[in-house]
Amino acid sequence: MTKKIVIANWKLNPLLRQEAGSIFNKIKNNIRGIKNTEAVICPPFAYLESLSRLMPRNVNKRHQKLFLGVQDIFWEEKGAYTGEISSVLVKQFGVTHAIIGHSERRKWLGETDEMLNKKIKAVLKAGLTPVLCIGEWEREEGGELPPIVGEQLKAALTGIRKGQFKKGIIAYEPVWAIGTGRAETPDNAVKAAIYIRRTAREILGRKNAASLRVIYGGSVNAKNAASFISKDILGMEGMLVGGASLDAKEFVEIVKSVDGI
Ligand code: PGA
């Protein structure tokens, strides 16, 4: 059975290294009992080294529950790219996952579908798990899933060699739901998951898309997290959590409620 996954996107928080370590340790110590869920912490780059030292040691890969991820990655490995960071660099700190195409990067840094496509390819080449974010900026009340969701997916996965994205993750994050306290309804989230899986199958082929995971992000908290996951194979297989992931207790509750389903 594919495991569910809950990813913490700390964004540009917290401001102090001690605080980052304290949140991390609390999460680590309180998710020990989870069985079918993976938890990934994506801190600011500056904390990777110190948090990598706090990672549980000598864990058998099959039983690993806690992973370290990054919120972005550049497509080149090294060279004259001021301010950038590459997968080769972050892998030294045990990083296994990379968020790509978060709407805040599309908005504030002007990341385009073309850039994200290059980033996804670089992440796959480095053997990291990509967490590709897609989602519409606006939605009419009661409206259907806008075509931009499929367009973003196609653009990001263009030219990906068949089989490469097998372990990839696609995060459906309607932008209007991020940080607003106005999460998508569970019904619509299931519809989005079905649509995304179907579109991914068209692009990658049925076999290659069979094991990728679709997760939901946007105002997830301990109260609503479980409602997005359904027991059958149709629903979301995890969450991307922003604000609530900085509160260790709340994040642990999210992970546990997802794991309990
Ligand atoms: P939020 O953010 O949980 O604070 O809405 C989600 C995200 O941006 O990934």
Q: What is the pLDDT of residues 195-239, one digit of tens each?
A: 999 999 999 988 888 889 999 999 999 999 999 987 666 789 999
Given a cut of 90, is residue 182 above it in pLDDT?
yes
Q: Ligand 1 centroid to 178 CA: how many Å?
A: 5
pLDDT per residue as tens digits for the range 115-139: 999 999 999 999 999 999 999 998 8
Give the model's pLDDT for residue 35: 93
Q: Ligand 1 centroid to 72 CA: how many Å?
A: 15
The residue count of the chain comes to 261
Q: Encode 27-56: b = buried (16+ Cβ within 10 Å), e = exposed.
A: bbebbeebeebbbbbbbbbebbeebeebbe
Catalytic residue among 38, 97, 102, 136: 102
173 is catalytic: yes
The per-residue pLDDT of the chain, averaged, comes to 94
Over pLDDT 90: what percentage of the chain?
83
Helix (H) or strand (E) holding 33: none
The pLDDT of 232-254, averaged and rounded, is: 93
C-alpha pair distances (Å), 64 with each of 5, 37, 43, 57, 231: 12, 10, 19, 10, 23
Please work out whether the CB of residue 215 comes within 6 Å of at least one atom of ligand 1: no
Chain-centre distance for alpha carbon 185: 19
Given a cut of 80, is residue 141 above it in pLDDT?
no
Q: Rounded to two decimals, what is the model's pTM?
A: 0.96
Please work out whether the CB of residue 123 comes within 6 Å of at least one atom of ligand 1: no
Q: Ligand 1 centroid to 218 CA: how many Å?
A: 5
Question: Cis (ω within 30 of 0) for the bond into 43?
Answer: no
If DSSP codes are grouped into helix, strand and coil, which group holds residue 171? strand
**What CA–CA distance (Å, rounded) separates 241 from 179?**
10
The pLDDT of 51-76, averaged and rounded, is: 94
Residue 143: band (very low, low, confident or very high) from pLDDT cuts 50, 70, 90: confident
pLDDT per residue as tens digits for the range 20-59: 999 999 999 999 999 999 999 999 999 999 999 999 988 8
By most ligand atoms within 8 Å of CB, the mutation choice from 100, 219, 253 for ligand 1 is 219
Give the model's pLDDT for residue 59: 86
Please work out whether the CB of residue 257 comes within 6 Å of at least one atom of ligand 1: no
Helix ranges, 16-147 (H): 17-30, 48-54, 87-91, 103-108, 113-125
Q: Ligand 1 centroid to 170 CA: how many Å?
A: 15
Nearest-atom index, ligand 1, CA of 178: 5
For residue 132, what are the β-bridge partners? 100, 170
Given a cut of 80, is residue 260 above it in pLDDT?
yes
Please work out whether the CB of residue 240 comes within 6 Å of at least one atom of ligand 1: yes
63 is catalytic: no
Over pLDDT 70: what percentage of the chain?
98
Q: Ligand 1 centroid to 253 CA: how many Å?
A: 16
Residue 1: band (very low, low, confident or very high) from pLDDT cuts 50, 70, 90: low
